[in-house]
Amino acid sequence: MAVYVRAKRVTDPLNDKVKACLSGRDHRQTSYNSSGSEHSPCLSDLIHDFLEAESNSPNYEESSDSERDSSLHEPIDVIESLLNPPGDSDPFRIHLLSVVSKAVKAFACERSNLFVFRRKVMTYLRDSGYNAAICKSKWDSCAGVTAGTYEFIDVIRSDAAWQQRYIVDAEFSGEFEIARPTVNYERLLNAIPKVYVGRTEELKQIIRLMADAAKRSLKARELSLPPWRKNRYMQTKWFGPYKRTVNQCLATVSFPVELEKFDVKCRSVGFDAVNDGCNRFVFPPPATRTR
């Protein structure tokens, strides 16, 4: 009598926790307070990206330091072609980049507070007619990826039959800084923009190239690769579970009318208010008592 044996699936060797994490069923990944809709990558995309990353990763143990160093020249051309493709046929991205540049320049005085800066840029994009929102990604430790959080802007371009997602990151190049970088890695770091505006397809490739280059640079310096600079961790920042929200800013604190009589004018106590150019007033620090 023939006996039917079920073939093992790819996920059979994994425990329940890992399966839940891969499929986005682990509610702890997105169980933080935020308005907006939740998004989780599908299982097939995660497995495909993981296998592709593993198969494309070079064997650093078999190459010499000189070979590792010289091989860093090639990714620069690839990254530049991804950022500025020859004969760019995406007018939507070109126009979006122009609008983002104007927003970044308009709110440059807010860059010290990235929370406020991102929301002002997002609001500027929405006022310009774009479907922009703040994306808050948060994930638990899973499959070798340490827990973390990240925040960026995305813009959804919708058509009758499809959608295209664009990423806008105001501090993009800063996410790839490492300790004691080699000269070639510094060249790569200088090739990527401080503010990234582009499609998710190109972003995935840039992240993978930079993660591989970071691994080479650190190994050349005889330093270990920190978990937050691994390719899988870096990919999770922009492509892990996230919530999309259009909240513009923090709630404004208002004071009751009856408390206005206790308002103290700055000149009445001997200080002059100084306008810092951003419609804000900065007060000098109080005098230090001396003996």
> What's the pLDDT tens digit per position in 120-171?
999 999 999 999 999 999 999 887 788 999 999 999 998 878 899 999 999 9
> Residue 46: which pLDDT band, with cuts at 50, 70 and 90?
low
Average pLDDT, the chain: 74
| Tokens encoding 190 | 């200088």
Residue 108 forms part of a structural domain: yes
Domain membership flag for residue 268:
no
pLDDT class for 23, splitting at 50, 70, 90?
Answer: very low
pLDDT tens digits for 180-223? 999 999 999 999 999 999 999 999 999 999 999 999 999 999 99
Q: Which residues are within 8 A (CB) of 212 and not within 5 positions of it... i.e. 6 or more apart?
A: 57, 58, 75, 231
* Residue 275 forms part of a structural domain: no
Averaged pLDDT for residues 67-80: 64
Query: Where residue 285 falls among pLDDT bands split at 50, 70, 90?
Result: low
Residue 68 lies in a domain: yes
Residue 47 lies in a domain: yes
Is residue 90's pLDDT more than 80? yes
Report residue 57's pLDDT band, with 50, 70 and 90 as the boundaries: very low
Residue 64: C-alpha distances to residues 61, 132, 216, 219, 253 (Å): 8, 46, 11, 11, 60
Residues 6+ apart with CB under 8 A from 142: 17, 18, 21, 22, 26, 29
Cα–Cα distance, 168 to 203 (Å, whole number): 10
pLDDT confidence band for 49 (50 / 70 / 90): low
Contact 41, 61 (CB under 8 A): no
List the domain range (segments joined by +) for residue 88.
Answer: 16-245
Instruction: Please tell me the distance from the alpha carbon of residue 56 to that of residue 209, in angstroms, as a whole number.
Output: 10
The whole-number average pLDDT for the span 27-33 is: 38
Question: Is there a domain that residue 277 lies in?
Answer: no
Tell me how many domains the chain contains.
1
Q: Is residue 285 part of a domain?
A: no
Residue 280 lies in a domain: no
pLDDT at residue 247, rounded to an integer? 80
Q: Which residue has the higher pLDDT, 10 or 132?
A: 132
Q: How many CB atoms lie within 10 A of CB 90?
A: 15
